[in-house]
Amino acid sequence: MRRPSRVSLVLCTWLVTPMIAAAEPKPRTDRLDLDDGWTIQSSARLKAVDGKVTGVEVSGVEVSGVEVPGVELSQPGFPTDGWHPATIPSTVVAALVADGTYPDPYFGMNLRTLPGADYPIGKIFSKLPMPEGSPFRSSWWFRTEFATPVAGSFPRSGEATVLHFDGINYRANIWLNGTRLASRDEVAGAYRLYQFDVTEHLRAKGMNALAVEIFPPGVDDLAITWVDWNPMAPDKAMGIWRDVYLTTSGPVTLQHPHVVTDLELPVARLTVSVELRNTTDRLQRGQLNARVGDVQISEAVALQPEEERTVVLRPDRHPQLVVHNPELWWPIHMGPQNLHDLDFSFEIEGVVSDRTHTRFGIREITSELTDEGHRLFRVNGRPVLIRGAGWTPDMMLRFSPERMASELAYVRDMGLNTIRLEGKMEPESFFQLADEYGILVMAGWCCCSHWERWKNWSDEDYDIAMESLRSQILRLRQHPSLLVWLNASDIPPPARVEQGYLEVLDELRWPNPVLSSASATPAEHSGPSGVKMNGPYEWIPPSYWLTDGGKHGGAWGFATEVGPGPVVPPLESLREMLPASSLWPIDEQWLFHAGTGRFDNLDLFNDALTARYGAPTGVADYAFKSQLMAYDGLRAMFEAYARNKYTATGVIQWMLNDAWPSMIWHLYDVYLRPGGAYFGAKKALEPIHVQYSYDDRSIVVVNGFDRPFDEVEVSAELFDVEMHQRFAKQLTIDIPRDGVSRVFEIPEITGLSTTYFLNLRLKDARGAHLSRNFYVLSTQEDVLDWNASTYYLTPVKIHADLTGLATLPSVELAMTVAHEVQGDEGVSRVTVENPSSHLAFAVHLRLIGGEDGKEILPILWEDNYFPLLPGESREIEARYRVEDLAGARPVVELDGWNVSVKDSQPRSQG
């Protein structure tokens, strides 16, 4: 019997419930990715004569108001001479930059030269309409051709081929071989995932043509937006921003495998489910086979014609799903990231119709309100202090698996245990790696756009929001790394919207906590959130976090986005992002990269830098002092929240990374160059750590491990600016698991130099270092104007005076380097010695190599911007990809506040 057309079914059913293929560690064997061979062109540059498209306007004159027929564009062999090449995923602007039509918009003020990018500087473009004359006001066509996938085990009449779109921004008409699969009214929403049964529309021989007409988002669309951390490309991210692919199966398809853990140690009860769909107009009988770890279960299933059904395997019917002493999944530092295989297959008369494979973790995440009303999360019953940062993708939504892996390696290296996604949902590989690394993920919708202008929502907006949530939850819920879903960011949704969201989450068996928003404002249905969004976002001194007094963004409660303001990149990055003529003094080119809205300048940061360290003498001096500012600021924030756990229950640094070259809010810059912010955060995030308290001068040891440390030695030395020891103390203590131990206080010292130093050490019973820490302090402490606090800053009346650093004598260090290769990883060990009687401050190492002699990036340095006391020697290790050397011998460069080097380079091994 001939298969009926599936297009009507897809539009009536699948567009109401859009889905994505199951998460998999490696691609399906029956998947054909449609990533290469695309071309794009503006509809305004196509001519239609007598209903037929004739090509590109040679003169460049735009033709508007003419409907270009997709039936012609989606015919194999349609000429695309003069179109722009593209590789999917891609936005329009990303493709035009890649083919050289536009210059690199990330350099200097090049972005302003792109058509349609002349919106007012400092304004949030997502809130503005496309400018008149912008080439992105019209629709753009994305087109490719491909061969029909080869048939599998079933005869051609029994196979189903499905076309998947995992992300279109914002609306689209989709055509295949002259047939329109969906219209712009049916494909709408950046975060929805679409599937179309195209079995009857593929050609048995020859090529198929797929043409997608994409329409840009408007101000009142639930689209992809950026807010104040960077500008927006002039196309507003219009394009196919996630994968396009075909999957082939037999008559019954499988998707959305899912495991929910009910944990009551030492027993875990697993509930396992998968969605089945009969793609035919006939009854289909078969056997569903599940392998859950080492457990195998089979059930007979009969599906009515075109039936979709979720089959749930429960432990009360299948006692094999009751696991004793399970191997649990834990976040980083709390335990191992045990992952187990989950395989489903469906067999019809002994032939596999479809199969899925994914991995899952046996774990349970819960949350509660503490007695103080703060949100506290638990993993497998144990409390966890959330310490994370906010993620952003590339401004043009370009995605690189290699770059993503490098960034998550940075997250793990710093010791962060959480990433927050404010919208901008990442692809499967991101969450798979988060599962492997033990990095928790807070996911949810974005602020400051139509996503939170609910009073302006139409019925269509409401439907798009619910289906967007459905699409994302179906793919996210399986990952053990998912910590929580946030239904909004800055403002909780109104009752109707929140209720709709909660119903979708309940229907899809979301296994984790849900927050109404990232702010403290209570919601009508879910009540208090237990989190806060009180700022700051501008520069504040290190003492802020422990002297807040429980009113603002200090170290109490759960701060969902907060930070010490601007993070100026190192000098090498400034040279990559700014024209040489604009490197100094600071000009409009700098400020163009300083954020938008009220964050479009560096004034407060610069005033503080000058007051604390002295006026910068040039760009190099300014950039280095900026690293010290960032180091102290990020270290202090993370240390404060750690000292106050679990009165402080979580902190999310705003932000982790950059969407483009930026002067604000990151822990590492867009070039993946770790600077002072990175190493200050890494120092504070040590799983066992010794630290100083700015409020009461106490020395504290924080243990983030789930085991105690006995007989550890805590020592403190206080030096004046000339390195005369003015105080010293050491004590041997036992540190409880996941504990905080206040060890002793530093007394007030009379006659101390204005700038002075505190050196802390933590050693185990064998004398091995567990933690080192070094502070530059001042007898003139920062004085804050708390009464003038706003959501983004607390002004400083008097700054700490650290200008005594300028009196440090120059120190020549000795350095030796050993290099070796371990598989595809290079390892460099740098031994640095201070033979002098003076302090060597903020010693900074870089590794140079490769064909162009540039810095090796990404790279994992054990430590950086570190001090060396008189006579002290340290070995610092760096790890990197051998391929980045391009066969060259690596060279270590050293600089710092007051240092030069007499080096011995290098020794190579392996």
Q: Which residues contact 844 (CB under 8 A, 6 or more apart)?
A: 627, 864, 865, 894, 895, 896
Q: Considering 221, 413, 490, 884, which one is annotated as catalytic?
A: 490
Tokens 């802020």 belong to residue: 544
Strand-pair category, 482-486 with 440-444? parallel
Assign 3-class secondary structure to 87-147.
Answer: CCCEEHHHHHHHCCCCCCCCCCCHHHHCCCCCCCCCCCHHHCCCCCCCCCCCCEEEEEEEE
* CA dihedral sign of residues 853, 858, 860, 864: positive
Assign 3-class secondary structure to 382-433.
Answer: EEECEEEEEECCCCCCCCCHHHHHHHHHHHHHHCCCEEEEECCCCCHHHHHH
Q: Is the distance from CB of 660 to CB of 397 less than 8 angstroms?
A: no
Q: Considering 561, 632, 686, 884, which one is annotated as catalytic?
A: 561
- Prior bond of 76 cis (ω within 30°): no
Q: Is the distance from CB of 691 to CB of 760 less than 8 angstroms?
A: yes
- Cα gap 636→773, rounded to integer Å: 12
Q: Cα Rg for the chain, rounded, in angstroms? A: 29
Q: Which residues pair with 770 in a beta bridge?
A: none
- Cα gap 434→430, rounded to integer Å: 6
Q: Is the distance from CB of 252 to CB of 286 less than 8 angstroms?
A: yes
- Cα gap 203→179, rounded to integer Å: 12
**With left for phi above 0 and alpha for psi between -120 and 50, is residue 56 left, alpha or beta?**
beta
* CA dihedral sign of residues 636, 665, 121, 533: negative
C-alpha 522: how far from chain center: 27
The answer to whether residue 561 is catalytic is yes
Between the alpha carbon of residue 396 and those of residues 49, 67, 410, the distances in Å are 34, 28, 22
Q: Which SS3 state, helix, strand or coil, does residue 209 take? A: strand
Among 362, 285, 376, 288, CA closest to 330:
362
User: Quick one: tokens of 103?
Assistant: 């210059």
Q: Is the distance from CB of 413 to CB of 443 less than 8 angstroms?
A: no
DSSP 8-state symbol, 13: I
* CA dihedral sign of residues 682, 684, 688, 692: positive
Q: Which residues pair with 740 in a beta bridge?
A: 702
- Cα gap 753→734, rounded to integer Å: 34
Query: Residue 506: enclosing H or E segment and its boundaries?
Result: helix 495-507
- What interhelical angle do 401-414 and 428-437 show, nearest 10? 30
Residue 496: what are its φ and ψ, rounded to 5°? -65, -45
- Cα gap 596→122, rounded to integer Å: 4
Side-by-side strand order, sheet with 295-303:
295-303, 284-292, 340-348, 351-360
- Cα gap 132→248, rounded to integer Å: 44
Among 420, 893, 410, 897, CA closest to 678:
410
The answer to whether residue 490 is catalytic is yes
Q: Which residues contact 308 (CB under 8 A, 6 or more apart)?
A: 13, 275, 276, 277, 278
Amino acid identity at 830: V
Q: In the chain, what are the helix, strand and coil shares in percent, each to the nearest 5?
A: 20, 35, 45
Catalytic positions: 490, 561
